[in-house]
C-alpha cells in the first residue's frame, strides 16, 4: 500500500454487524473485509454530502480541475501497484493491469480538458430582442450516487466521477464488493490532493441500504453500472421515491455485442481483433464481442484464423507475466459460462477448441477455457443471452441484409462492429444497426470524446464526451431585461 492509502479511514464510521468479504478468484480465499455501514451512518453520510455541496459548487472550476489533476497524477504514479491489486481482486492478468490505469488517465484528462467548454454558459443571441440577455447555464444537480462494477473498476468509475466533481456535485461512490480497494484508492488520492471532506465518500452498503440511498430525497441523480435486472430495480426504486421530485438515472447495463465480417475484409486482421474483443478480460466486458456474423465467402478462413489466435492464449495464474487469460470472477460465473457452452453443443453447435489445450480449466474452479463455437443459431443461449465469458459464437451469412437483421435480433444494444475495407458499404448500414456505438475495424474500446450510451436493455443515459456533463448537470435558463 502507498503511504497516502489509509485503510483505517474506511473503518472509522459507525458500522453494522455485517461484514463484506472479497474472495479472490485466484485462490478462492478472502482478501479484503469491510464492515458495512449502519443505517444511521448511511443517512449521516448522505446529509454530509448534501452539506458539502453548498460550498463545493462555489469553488472555481480551475481549482476543481487542479485538485482532480493532482489526484490523477498521483494515482498514475503507482500504476503497477494498482494493477496488482486489480489482479488480486478480480483475476485479470497482471500484465494488463497498468493498461486500465492508463485508460483511466486518458479519460480523466480528456474530461478535465473538456470541462470548461462543456460547462460554459451558452449565450443565446439568435433572434434576441433589444435590451434582453438570455443565457443557458449548466447547474450541478447536487449529491450523486455512482454505483460501480468490478470488471473495470477504475474505467467505469471515472466516466461519471470526474464530470460530476468538475460540475460542482458531491459524490457517493458505491464500489462493487469484488473490487472495494479501487474506490478507496481514488478517494484517498482525491483527499490527499486537497478535495474537501465529504465532497466524495466511499460507501460499502448492503442491497437494502443501497435502496435507501437511491430513494433518498437528497440524492437527485444515480449512475448505475451492472446487470439488467439490478438496473431495472434501481430505476423502479428511484421512480417510486417520494419527497424529492423526479430523479435522474443513468444505466449502463448488459450487452450481447455483435461483429460483422464482410467479404472484403482481411480475415486474419479481423480474426485477431475480434478474438481480442471477445476474450480480453476473460470476456468480462459489457462491450465484449459475443457473437460474430461472417460472409460465407470468407467464413472458413476467418474461423480457422480465430482458432489459431485462441490456441495461443495462456490460461493460468494471473499473477504471472506470461498469463494472457485469467480466471473469471467466480465459480458461479464459470458454471454459467459452461452452461451456455453445453446448451449450444446440446443443440447442435460444434466446439472448436479442445480443452486439452488449456489443462488449467477445471470444473469447480473459475478457470474457464476459451471457446469458439460454430454451427450456432439464435435459439442457443450463447447467441441470445449475455455470456460474460471467454466464449464466442460464429455464424455464416450471405449478405449485409442478413447480417444486419441478425445483429439487431437481440434485446441488447450497446456496441457493434463492422469489419470491412469499404467505407461506403459501412455508411450504408451503420444507421440501421440498433446500438449506442458502431465501430468500423475496431471494437471493445471507449473513446472519451464519444458518447458512451446504449439502447434497449443495454441501458439509457450518457457518459463520456461533452454530453456526459449534461447527465450530472441541469439546464438553467437565465432571462434578463435591463431597465
Tens digits of residue pLDDT in 220-244: 999 999 999 999 999 999 999 998 7
Task: State the average pLDDT over residues 16-22.
Answer: 88
pLDDT at 14: 61
286 carries an active-site annotation: yes
Q: Measured between alpha carbons, how far is residue 81 from residues 50, 94, 175, 185, 303 in Å?
A: 33, 10, 19, 11, 38
Give the lowest-confidence range in 7-11, 24-28, 102-106, 396-400.
Answer: 7-11
pLDDT digits (tens, 9 = 90+) for 434-443: 999 999 999 9
Residue 176 CA neighbour count, 13 Å, CB half: 22
Q: What is the dihedral of CA 294, 296, 299, 300, to 10 degrees?
A: 170
Cell of 173: 461512490
Give the lowest-confidence range in 7-16, 75-84, 271-280.
Answer: 7-16
pTM: 0.95
Name the one residue in this structure whose C-alpha cell is 455508411. Answer: 427
Q: Helix, strand, coil % (nearest 5) of the chain?
A: 40, 20, 35
Mean pLDDT in the chain?
95
Question: CB of 396 within 8 A of CB of 299?
Answer: yes
Task: State the average pLDDT over residues 151-161.
Answer: 97
Q: Residues 182, 200, 286, 443: which is the catalytic one?
A: 286
Task: State the average pLDDT over residues 107-117.
Answer: 98
CA terminus-to-terminus distance, the chain: 62
pLDDT at 3: 29
Inform me whether the pLDDT recorded for 144 exceeds 60. yes
pLDDT at 4: 34
pLDDT at 438: 98
**Which stretch of DSSP H or E encloses residue 2?**
none
Inform me whether the pLDDT recorded for 6 exceeds 50. no
Residue 262 CA neighbour count, 13 Å, CB half: 18
Task: State the average pLDDT over residues 285-302.
Answer: 98
Inform me whether the pLDDT recorded for 1 exceeds 60. no
pLDDT at 8: 52
Separation of alpha carbons 227 and 267, rounded Å: 33
Give the lowest-confidence range in 2-11, 161-170, 240-249, 473-482.
Answer: 2-11
pLDDT digits (tens, 9 = 90+) for 403-433: 999 999 999 999 999 999 999 999 999 999 9
Looking at per-residue pLDDT, the higher value among 78 and 245 belongs to 78
Amino acid at each position: 500500500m502507498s503511504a497516502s492509502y489509509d485503510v483505517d479511514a474506511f473503518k472509522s464510521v459507525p458500522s453494522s454487524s455485517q461484514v463484506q468479504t472479497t474472495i479472490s478468484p485466484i485462490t478462492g480465499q478472502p482478501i479484503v473485509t469491510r464492515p458495512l455501514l449502519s443505517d444511521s451512518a448511511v443517512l449521516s453520510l448522505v446529509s454530509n454530502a448534501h452539506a458539502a455541496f453548498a460550498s463545493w459548487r462555489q469553488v472555481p472550476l480551475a481549482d476543481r480541475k487542479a485538485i482532480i489533476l493532482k489526484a490523477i497524477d498521483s494515482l498514475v504514479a503507482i500504476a503497477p501497484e494498482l494493477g496488482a491489486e486489480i489482479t488480486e481482486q478480480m483475476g485479470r492478468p497482471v500484465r494488463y493491469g497498468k493498461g486500465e490505469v492508463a485508460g483511466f488517465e486518458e479519460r480523466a484528462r480528456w474530461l478535465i480538458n473538456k470541462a470548461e467548454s462543456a460547462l460554459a454558459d451558452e449565450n443565446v443571441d439568435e433572434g434576441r430582442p433589444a435590451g434582453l440577455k438570455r443565457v443557458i447555464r449548466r447547474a450541478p444537480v447536487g449529491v450523486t450516487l455512482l454505483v460501480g462494477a468490478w470488471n473495470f473498476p477504475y474505467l467505469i468509475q471515472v466516466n461519471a466521477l470526474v464530470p460530476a466533481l468538475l460540475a460542482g456535485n458531491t459524490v457517493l461512490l458505491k464500489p462493487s464488493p469484488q473490487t472495494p480497494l479501487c474506490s478507496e484508492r481514488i478517494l484517498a488520492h482525491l483527499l490527499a490532493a486537497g478535495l474537501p471532506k465529504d465532497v466524495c465518500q466511499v460507501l460499502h452498503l448492503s442491497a437494502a441500504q443501497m435502496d435507501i440511498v437511491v430513494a433518498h430525497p437528497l440524492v437527485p441523480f444515480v449512475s448505475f453500472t451492472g446487470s439488467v435486472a439490478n438496473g431495472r430495480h434501481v430505476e423502479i426504486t428511484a421512480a417510486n421515491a417520494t419527497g424529492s421530485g423526479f430523479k435522474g438515472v443513468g444505466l449502463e447495463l448488459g450487452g450481447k455485442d455483435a461483429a460483422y465480417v464482410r467479404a472484403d475484409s482481411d480475415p486474419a486482421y479481423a480474426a485477431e481483433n475480434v478474438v481480442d474483443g471477445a476474450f480480453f478480460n476473460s470476456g468480462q466486458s459489457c462491450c465484449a464481442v459475443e457473437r460474430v456474423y461472417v460472409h460465407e465467402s470468407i467464413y472458413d478462413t476467418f474461423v480457422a484464423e480465430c482458432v489459431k489466435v485462441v490456441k495461443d492464449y495462456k490460461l493460468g495464474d494471473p499473477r504471472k507475466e506470461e498469463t494472457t487469460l485469467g480466471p473469471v470472477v467466480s465459480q458461479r460465473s464459470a458454471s454459467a459460462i459452461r452452461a451456455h457452452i453445453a446448451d449450444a453443443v446440446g443443440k447442435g453447435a460444434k466446439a472448436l477448441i479442445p480443452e486439452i489445450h488449456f489443462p488449467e480449466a477445471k470444473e469447480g474452479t473459475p478457470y474457464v477455457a476459451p471457446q469458439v463455437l460454430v454451427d450456432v443459431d439464435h435459439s442457443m443461449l450463447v447467441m441470445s443471452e449475455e455470456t460474460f465469458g471467454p466464449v464466442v459464437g460464429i455464424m455464416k451469412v450471405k449478405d449485409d441484409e442478413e447480417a444486419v437483421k441478425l445483429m439487431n435480433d437481440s434485446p441488447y444494444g450497446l456496441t457493434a462492429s463492422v469489419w470491412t475495407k469499404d467505407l461506403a458499404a459501412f455508411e450504408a448500414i451503420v444507421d440501421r444497426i440498433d446500438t449506442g456505438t458502431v465501430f468500423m475495424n475496431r471494437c471493445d474500446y471507449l473513446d472519451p470524446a464519444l458518447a458512451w450510451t446504449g439502447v434497449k436493455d443495454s441501458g439509457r443515459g450518457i457518459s463520456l464526451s461533452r454530453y456526459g456533463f449534461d447527465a450530472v448537470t441541469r439546464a438553467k435558463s437565465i432571462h434578463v431585461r435591463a431597465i
